[in-house]
Amino acid sequence: MAALTGMVLRFLAAAIGARAVVEIGTGCGASGIWLLRGMRAGSVLTTVDLEPEHHRLARSVFMEAGFGSGRYRLITGRALEVLPRLADSAYDLVFCDADKREYPEYLTAALRLLRPGGIVAFDNALWADEGTNLAHRDPDTASVGELREVVFADENLVPLLLPTGDGLLAAVKRAD
């Protein structure tokens, strides 16, 4: 994860006083550290990943950064199977950095999970801007392009596309 993208995540979490955050795609824990640094004291990061090894790495990184086990919840499993088990409107921020082909479905899940005023964010939203190239048929970049179109067309969202790293697409969920 690019440091500037991490700083934006920390800023977003701090700006909304995030207490409950969902991360889809734990990876090695880098984005989780940025999110935790922006979240309020006593808040909880719920991070979902298919790979138990990613959780082992993240747990180590979180502990090394001074975040006790009460500050995060690691859930191993396929995100689209785990997310339905999480509570509706209970989260302040949802950050997605996992299977790009599932980004549109993550958006649907995130909108259910988020409280009004909450933020959904997607990493790799520009991916060399290939998502807008109609001749490009890569399923990942096509899915990212589809996601951008849906987010910008949804009147219940206030979107922003930032050119940090490979692009960060963020959107505020308007009140119902």
Domains and CATH numbers, the chain: 3-173 (3.40.50.150)
Mean pLDDT of the chain: 93
- The pLDDT assigned to 139 comes to 86
Closest CA to 32 of 49, 16, 15: 49
Helix (H), strand (E) at residue 87? none
Residue 123 CA to residue 100 CA, distance in Å, equals 9
Residue 159 CA to residue 119 CA, distance in Å, equals 9
- The pLDDT assigned to 131 comes to 41
pLDDT in tens, 38-66: 999 999 999 999 999 999 999 999 999 99
- The pLDDT assigned to 68 comes to 95
- The pLDDT assigned to 137 comes to 59
pLDDT in tens, 112-138: 999 999 999 999 998 645 444 555 558
Q: What are the backbone angles phi and psi of residue 43, rounded to the nearest 5°?
A: -80, 170
- The pLDDT assigned to 176 comes to 67
Q: Checking DSSP bridges between strand 114-123 and strand 91-96, what pairing results, if any?
A: parallel
**Whether the predicted pLDDT of 103 surpasses 80:** yes
